[in-house]
Chains A and B, each alone.
Chain A
Amino acid sequence: MLLGLFLELRKQGVPTKVVEWLDLMAVLRTGLVTADITAFYHLSRAVLVKDERYYDRFDYAFSDYLRQVEKYGTDWLNNMTEEEFFLAFDRELSPEEQAELQRLAEDKERLKTTSKQVFEIEDEQNVEKQGLGASGNKSASATGSAGFNIEEGMLNAESGEQKKKAVRAWDEHAFRSLDEKQNISSRNLQLALRPLRRFAREGAALEFDLEGTIRATARDGGFLNVQERPERRNHIKLLMLFDVSGSMDVHVKTCQELFSACRDQFKHLEFFYFHNCVYETLWKHPSRRDEDGIPTIQVLNTYGADYRVIFIGDAAMDHAEITRAGGSVEHWNEETGEVWLTRVAEHYRRLLWLNPNPERTWSMSPSTQLITTIINDRMFPLTIDGLKRGIQSLSR
């Protein structure tokens, strides 16, 4: 039944559904693919994965699954006790999906045998035994035999010379850069641009739609029916505030590239720079020369509350730099960093902080925790996924 592959995929977080799994069984039954692993890899990917950002995780799941098959042979499902099987099943599938599988079994007669086999492990063991007894011959009655042939084929192909062959397609990890949990870097800049462009286009007001109105009016037999459609102009005004401390250089550069690339999509885009935390001065240039400083108050007054603000910074500094007057490492600040940050957060309701450090390290840094509290939990990692989520929160 190749169920092992399905469970591995779920473990890796690939959102494969039971229906898609049953589709794969159906395709295998047509005999399109027999004992060729690479062909099976491509086929299962086409049927089970519906977005290229999961391709990399699929590769990992596939190689993990193969390792299991090679290790235990096709007996591994036999050797798994009923308890273990149901434990894995319960763990990987939600109750709704289990119910759905049962419901499907009732709805479609031809799938009944297949789904029943999933639930009744005795039947499964029989199928495997039948397959074993027939030593790889396709037994017409057992619907699981197609899957069994694949596994046998895999085992046989892996023996001897073929094992020494070239790197297998899923080990190449060709789709690494498409995975959205990777940090934004020059490699996935293009991918990061898409949600930004989408973000820049939304929020437009409605305008009168002449074509649509005529059509709707005619359809209503002459009664006027006004139709509207969203404007097509750029609408979003954006302020970017960059933290220029040593470790941030490469991230600042990447983000500048990213946002400049879609500069024309925004109504207005401005870059500002600060060091570690926002105090009473901001700079328009990363070199932050004293004479180029602009008072933060001036920035707040010039750019109204309808601007959206995105911070790019690692939020990693000494706790005192935020909470104490004079805490700044460069100068004596009259008011604390906390006060300034709060001012910015209160003036610009729609605000977002992107942090290049991995999300799991945030709880270990007191300054990060403090900043997250000040900005009301709107901190996201600097990955494509984090960017998307952050943008969603900006739109609310």
Chain B
Amino acid sequence: MKFEGTSSYIATDDLKLAVNAAIALERPLLIKGEPGTGKTLLAEELAAALDAPLLTWHIKSTTRAQQGLYEYDAVSRLRDSQLGDPRVNEIANYIKPGKLWEAFTAEKRPVLLIDEIDKADLEFPNDLLQELDRMEFFVYETQQTIKAEQRPIILITSNNEKELPDAFLRRCFFHYIAFPDRHTLEKIIHVHYPKIKEELVNQALDVFNDLRKVPGLKKKPSTSELVDWVRLLMFDNAAQAGLLQTDAALPPLSGALVKNEQDLELLQRLNFMQRRGR
């Protein structure tokens, strides 16, 4: 099983290697990168490329490691017992499998995406160590051990909000998705819009790269925003002409690229488009 990227997802060579190494050694792969560089998308494309089912576990700040294994719905059981429901006698009725359980017991080898693991508690990755290593866990309430038929391919993404513990890191392979270079950006645009004019791509990329270089921007525009912006430009001829204008302060349709007021103000103060002309 090798991953070569798909027709709709441009994967750089180093990313492909990291993914294939993780698959070869059956280790989880930790992916970090700027927001909007395609971390979550990678899992979807990988599942499509390998024809494997995709299971996604979105981590929130309140997520506990136990929730990924299973949850014992004690509240329902208490309620049912007070109503005299016969299901109360069998505790297995109240065990709800979590994402890891589903991944371990899937029929076909799945891709499991653990999204934004750094959002959770500091202890969260440590709580998963045993399960990630052995691919099995013990259900205390029903006294059964759930073991993985085949090791799922695990992709873990992180936004770098928190440090991840060492013991967790050494069990994973790691890849940092650097912001794509101009050549890759061009390929990405072409993959999304095959009929686009070459000239428009070049002008748009010039403006985009200059925008990213502005110091002090609170949030730099990302790849996904570039794709959206180009799409808007494609259908708006006036805006396309606006790309070359040097008397406006902001690039046309900048609402697609710059998402907060401080950055907009900053660009206006800098007279961004005019400066570019020089």
Contact = CB atoms under 8 A, between A and B. Distances in A.
Interface of A: 15, 17, 19-20, 23, 26-27, 30, 32-33, 38-39, 42-43, 45-47, 49-52, 55, 174-175, 186-187, 189-190, 194, 197-198, 214-215, 218-219, 221-222, 257, 261
A261 B24 contact: no
Given A27-B25, A50-B169, A33 B17 contact: yes
A261 B218 contact: yes
B173 A30 contact: no
Contact of B74 (A23, A33, A50, A219): A219
Contact of B216 (A52, A214, A257): A257
Interface of B: 13-14, 17-18, 20-22, 24-25, 27, 29-30, 32, 72, 74-75, 77-78, 160-162, 166, 169-170, 172-176, 178, 215-216, 218, 220
A45 B74 contact: no
| Closest 7 A/B residue pairs (Cβ) | A186-B215, A42-B14, A46-B18, A52-B176, A50-B169, A218-B75, A218-B74
Contact of A43 (B17, B75, B77, B220): B17
A-side interface mostly: helix
Nearest to A193: B218
Nearest to A52: B176
Q: Label chain B's interface by main secondary structure.
A: mixed
Contact of B170 (A19, A197, A215): A19
A187 B27 CA distance: 34
A186 B14 CA distance: 28
Contact of A30 (B25, B161, B176): B25
Nearest to A219: B74
Contacts of A261: 218
A190 B33 CA distance: 13
A103 to B, nearest CB: 15
B252 to A, nearest CB: 26
A42 B17 contact: yes
Nearest to A212: B62
A52 B32 contact: yes
29 contacts: A15-B166, A17-B170, A23-B25, A27-B21, A30-B25, A32-B17, A32-B20, A32-B24, A42-B17, A46-B173, A47-B173, A49-B174, A50-B30, A50-B169, A51-B174, A52-B176, A174-B178, A186-B216, A187-B215, A194-B160, A194-B161, A197-B161, A214-B75, A218-B74, A218-B75, A218-B77, A219-B72, A219-B74, A261-B218
